[in-house]
Amino acid sequence: MKRILISIIFFSLQLYSQNRDTSVIFSEIMFYNSSSIPNGEFVELFNTSYSDTINLSGWKIKYYTSSPDLIVDAGSGTKLLPRQFAVIFEGDYSGGYTVSPNALILKISDNAFGTSGMANTTDRDVHLLNSSSDTIWSYTYSANNSAGYSDEKIILIGDNSISNWANSIVVNGTPGGYNSISQREFDIGIIKILTSPAFPVLNDTVEVGVWIKNFGIRDASNFFVAFKYDFGNDGNIDLIVNSSPINYLRSADSIFIRADSLIAGLEKETKVFAELNFPSDENKTNDTISLLIKPGLPPGTIVINEVMFDPRSGEPEWVELYNKSNSRINLKGWKISDVVTTPTQVTITNNDFYFEPETFVVLASNLLIRNFYDSIPSPILLVPIPTLNNDRDGVVIYDDRGLAIDSLFYFSDWGRSKHSIERINYNQPTNQKNNWIFSVADSGATPGYQNSVQNIQAAKPMSIVFNELMFEPLTGNSEYIEIFNPSNDTINLAGWKIIEGGGKSFTLSTKSFYLYPDNYFVIASDSSIFNLFPYLREAAFSNFIKIFNASDLSLSNSDDIVILKDIFGNTIDSVAFQSNWHNPEIDDKKGRSLERINPTLNSNDGRNWTTSVNQLGGTPLIQNSVFTKKLPSYSKIEISPNPFSPDNDGFEDFTIISYQLPQETSQIRIRIFDSVGRLVRTLVDNEPSGSSGSVIFNGLDDNKQALRIGIYIILLEAINQNKGVVEQIKKPVVVAKRLR
């Protein structure tokens, strides 16, 4: 019985010893050492136990088919402590590796693993034997490493399969320390420190927090973060605040931890340090992080004001900035970037440069920009601006913290070749298309100056109108189109276009040109217009006429359309004219223009157009020969002039019937009766109308014959069917003739 009990105890001790032995594993093998470290092959072991110390005396390394090599003391003993690495070198190793001071250094009893060292071109197996010569672990390495790169185990407590081993990612391996590719059992780290707001400005309240990730194999518990504040960034810690303890974080999970203390009213640079406190952490390299918090500027303080992306030959591309604030701003460390296709950031300046308030600065790659402009009063900073595409691209301005202070994305149709694009209003959004337009300056741009289109506004419909059309001139004479400003505003015609029915467009001016109230502007197909209308040669008219090629301006002799667009492409006026708008009383219309009777009435009402009665056939840049003034409607119906004389002499040939109605909308009919009550003309028949309107009467009957001299009655009838209201208004009109 006693003998049996002793046997059981001996067997149990053997089993316990073997279980303890298996806690020692292979963790790294250097079989192809660098030539700079002779005799540098090594085998690294790791004790995975948290409690047991293993004595490696009598243990062996067996390489391939060679006899085992005995592991011997190298001066620090043979006991491997819990969670300790051991590095086993060749017997004649004399140094060269950087080995962790916490590692146990051992050697083998001879000068080479196996017979003559480990092979570095053929896969071989390596075995770990305990003092009883039992094989504890085996590993077959893959000989695909470059010199100086070991095989490392990825998960130390994992198996020895090929998938759990890989080549070291650092030269000479990691003898005595955690492998370069290994995942620790306990490893939580700070991956990012953040503030809210991300880019604070002066006097902001700022919250600080960190993202923590569990990189380890095992779950982590009972840790916290210490936040340390250095107000003023003078090297002194002014405040330490510990976060609340975190009880649990699963492997591979992340958590965001906020500091319990806020920075109230940020006034100066503040450096914040975050330190992770986790006693079981096996990797301290990712436990600390810091962030310098600088009170910066809000976006839009400095704005992109002008961009030359399609310059003339020899001129560099350039960007103009404007400081909207009332403070000097240091541009040191600021950056500029393009957008398409691969954004490239470049530094504006590495030196102190103070951008004065409400001024400009030009960023250009070289000083050749000065050759293209009479003067550039603002500073020019030489910056290797990334190449800007002509079809579409962007410009982004970053402050020294990396915050985008302003950004612009433009397209080619925003501008025109060899002209910059200019910002219209500092306070409108940068990427709003109608806040940009091509420069109308004589030089094509305004670097260092207020933009030529500063605060330009879209024109109102009918603020400029078509006033005269010469679409069928006599042979050898010029077609022309006249526009007129009937408004009370002075209007800049820069960038305005007239588009005719065939799709051709004609730019009125490529630079600022102001058309004052009651002034005219003419475009003509050729200079023969000066022969037909000699007065146009006078200096007073020279700036108000523009000559194009005859082949370009080609209006149809029957029906056509002309459209007037402002610099933003808005349609300001359009006329779809017809040849039958001419006065039927005039037999030969060729060589006579179509003139507008009143510029404030409907552009597309044929009754508002008729044949010029000027002896020259037209009235370019002077008042139309058929112009008739519209008087305000002070009563329900007004007729002006009254009497009128429709004899085609250019004086009071038409009368305007203006009316006011008591309803918002009505269907109206206007008829003309002679003195005995016979209907002679229906001017308007069941047409919709607002509460007021005007109609032109040319003195002709329904057969387009001139009415006799006499008194006629105008009858206006209006009905609002929704309200059942019928309105009838009568008023006499006198048809007369001028005395000769």
**Residue 548: predicted pLDDT:** 87
**Residue 550: predicted pLDDT:** 63
**Residue 719: predicted pLDDT:** 82
Domain with CATH 2.60.40.10 in the chain: 188-293
Architecture of the domain made up of 637-735 = Sandwich (2.60)
Block residue for tokens 């605040």: 241
**Residue 721: predicted pLDDT:** 58
Amino acid symbol at 313: S
User: What DSSP line would sit under 279-328, residue for residue?
Assistant: TT-S-GGGSEEEEEE--BPPTTSEEEEEEESSPPTTPPPEEEEEE-SSS-
Give the pLDDT confidence of 613-639 residue by residue, as tens digits. Answer: 788 999 999 999 888 776 554 448 899
The domain defined by 188-293 carries CATH number 2.70.98.90: no
**Residue 321: predicted pLDDT:** 98
Give dist(CA 553, CA 533) in Å, integer. 19
Give the pLDDT confidence of 544-594 residue by residue, as tens digits. Answer: 999 987 667 888 888 899 999 998 889 999 999 999 999 887 778 899 999
Q: Over 50: is that where the pLDDT of 97 sits?
A: yes
Q: Over 60: is that where the pLDDT of 243 sits?
A: yes
Give the pLDDT confidence of 499-539 residue by residue, as tens digits. Answer: 998 888 898 987 888 999 999 999 999 999 999 999 999 99
Residue 495 or residue 8, greater confidence: 495
Architecture of the domain made up of 21-167 = Sandwich (2.60)
Give the pLDDT confidence of 259-299 residue by residue, as tens digits. Answer: 988 999 999 999 999 999 999 998 888 999 999 999 999 99
Mean pLDDT of the chain: 91
C-beta of residue 206 within 8 angstroms of C-beta of residue 262: yes
Domain with CATH 2.60.40.1260 in the chain: 21-167, 302-438, 465-611
Query: For the residues 468-494, what does the mean pLDDT come to?
Result: 94
C-beta of residue 517 within 8 angstroms of C-beta of residue 489: yes
Beta bridge partners of 573: 564
Query: For the residues 16-28, what does the mean pLDDT come to?
Result: 78
**Residue 2: predicted pLDDT:** 46
Give the pLDDT confidence of 627-672 residue by residue, as tens digits. Answer: 877 655 444 889 999 999 998 888 888 999 998 887 766 788 999 9
Superfamily of domain 465-611: Lamin Tail domain (2.60.40.1260)
**Residue 724: predicted pLDDT:** 59
C-beta of residue 157 within 8 angstroms of C-beta of residue 148: no
Q: 207: which residues sit within 8 A by CB, 6+ positions away?
A: 195, 196, 258, 259, 262, 263
Give dist(CA 468, CA 610) in Å, integer. 10
Give the pLDDT confidence of 127-148 residue by residue, as tens digits. Answer: 999 999 999 999 999 999 999 9
Band (pLDDT 50/70/90 cuts) for residue 12 is very low
**Residue 650: predicted pLDDT:** 83
CATH of domain 302-438: 2.60.40.1260
Query: For the residues 301-311, what does the mean pLDDT come to?
Result: 97
Q: Over 80: is that where the pLDDT of 52 sits?
A: yes
**Residue 271: predicted pLDDT:** 96
pTM of the entire predicted model:
0.61
Q: Over 90: is that where the pLDDT of 187 sits?
A: yes
Give dist(CA 544, CA 508) in Å, integer. 10
Q: Over 60: is that where the pLDDT of 723 sits?
A: no
Radius of gyration of the chain measured on its C-alpha atoms? 46
C-beta of residue 315 within 8 angstroms of C-beta of residue 295: no
C-alpha count within 13 angstroms, C-beta hemisphere, residue 723: 12
User: What DSSP line would sit under 686-697, residue for residue?
Assistant: EEEE-SEEEEEE
Lowest mean pLDDT among 65-69, 408-412, 511-515: 511-515
Lowest mean pLDDT among 252-256, 266-270, 316-320, 584-588: 584-588
**Residue 7: predicted pLDDT:** 44
C-beta of residue 14 within 8 angstroms of C-beta of residue 130: no
Using left for φ > 0, alpha for ψ between -120 and 50, and beta otherwise, residue 581 falls in alpha
**Residue 8: predicted pLDDT:** 40
